[in-house]
Amino acid sequence: MTFTTLEFAYFFAAVFLLYYILPGKCQWVILLLASGYFYFQVGIPGFLMLCAIAVITWGAGLIVEKAVNKAKKNADGKGSNVARNVAFWSSMLLFIILLVIMRLPFASFIMPLGLSFYTLQCIGYITEVYRESTAAEKNFFKLALYVSYFPHILQGPFEDYKELKPQLDAVHVFDADKAYRGAARFLFGLMKKLVLADRIGYIVDSVFESPDGYYGLTVVIVMVLYTIQLYADFSGYMDMASGVSLLLGIEIRENFNVPYGSKSMAEFWRRWHMSLGLWFKAYIFYPCLRTKLCMNIQKHFKTKKKKYLMKTVPTAIALTVNWTLIGLWHGFDANYLAYDWFCGLIIIVSEFLRPVYAKVNDSAPKVFGSRVMDALRTVRTFLLVAFSFMFFRPETLGDSFLMMKDIFVRADVKAAAMFVYDHSYDMFLITLPLIILLVADILKYREVDIFQKIHKWNPVCRWAVYILAILLVYICKGDRSAAGFAYYIF
């Protein structure tokens, strides 16, 4: 059951009615039952795995909190701190072993959908209990709801326990404004997925599956189209997840903030899959910077009075660890590791070259501070991101290098023109949705909420837009919605 199916529409209609008709104190129970049923549709093994993870997380949280409290009471006793650390690291090791086993070839085919998303969320929760920044949840069923909340369980976003818990516990009265924003957001996500992502899939899949024989401009067209497809697919899911959640009165984290408007790779990753980036910063990157190795490096360069290296070298080490683990999170696959190392390398090199960039900018402030140069930086970053996805999508690393090489072998303009002609029907159908997406992202980049703007129009114009949007999705949609979303494989 996915967001794009009629089955989900019937399911959510029933949940929505029960949620607001029954007494408010029952709302979290309805959400728990709905989340259980939603994930049960994935399959019995996956459902049992989810239940096991919820039990482990609940139990580990209580054990870690108990050990932490005992360590605080016996601050002078080494044994209490050892018990605290053992309780924490034992639970971490258990989750890591589970993730590793599920990534191995012999077990990857049974990996439950969303496992790597909700498991990292559980790791974050236990870590926050260990850090004493949140209290362990005593009620197992409420903790299970946090783990399994159906709008975000399959693809995120990663939710902070302290942010989501109060909303899950609260009583929500129907809010027409939130319902409008939720429905509009869901429809927008539906257009991204069914029209843009699925239609572009028809165009690019055959090339990625058999890349030999495509050159120059054709490969560039496919590269750019896939960049749009992945964004439409992943952010489309997030729009639908946010929309569904808003209809229930609950606001979840934003996961995208116009990433293709970025002026550097580092900025791109602050705007793309933002909740993943925040998770790795909080639990991998910053802890790496506080390790003994990085602290000693900082002290070494500080004594040498080399402030630049004092900051840059530890940052490079932490970034290397961070990007390696993100690659492994994506999967034990050479393509994913190459992709994340490529992104990490660009960011690390940019850190080392920061003084060079500053000197160049200072030498020509009028040119490099202009809107024209900002636009050029945005185009450069977009093409760099598109090129990086050439590691991400092809079937093998060999195919990735083949396609990269074939970009520069020859332009082959005639073949590119024939490729576009052969896919002219799908190209035509994605044109208007692509323009809508571009306009919406430009407005969002300028901090304008397009949904609120439309909501302020007179009712005739407003409902005309809604009806036209529904017709657009119905007429132009592909027929691969049952295949799910791109990030389901993680």
Predicted confidence at residue 259, as pLDDT, reads: 95
Distance CA 297, CA 161 (A): 34
Contact by Cβ (8 Å): 184, 453: no
In 3-state terms the chain splits into helix, strand, coil percentages (rounded to 5) of 80, 0, 20
> So where are the chain's domains?
6-173, 177-202+215-252+412-485, 262-273+285-365+379-406
Model confidence over 383-422: pLDDT tens digits?
999 999 999 888 899 999 999 999 998 888 999 999 999 9
Distance CA 96, CA 78 (A): 27
What pTM was estimated for this model as a whole?
A: 0.91
Distance CA 33, CA 401 (A): 47
Predicted confidence at residue 181, as pLDDT, reads: 87
Beta strands in 238-358 (DSSP E): none
Q: What is the mean pLDDT of residues 68-81?
A: 68
The answer, yes or no, to whether the previous bond of 157 is cis (omega within 30 of 0) is yes
Count CB neighbours of 446 within 10 A.
Answer: 9
More confident residue, 25 or 1: 25
Q: What is the mean pLDDT of residues 182-209?
A: 91
Predicted confidence at residue 75, as pLDDT, reads: 58
Distance CA 447, CA 481 (A): 31
Is residue 490 very low, low, confident or very high in pLDDT (cuts 50, 70, 90)?
low
Closest listed residue to residue 440, CA positions, set 178, 177, 187, 253? 187
Is residue 221 very low, low, confident or very high in pLDDT (cuts 50, 70, 90)?
very high
Is residue 109 very low, low, confident or very high in pLDDT (cuts 50, 70, 90)?
low
* Residue the block writes with tokens 């999705």: 473
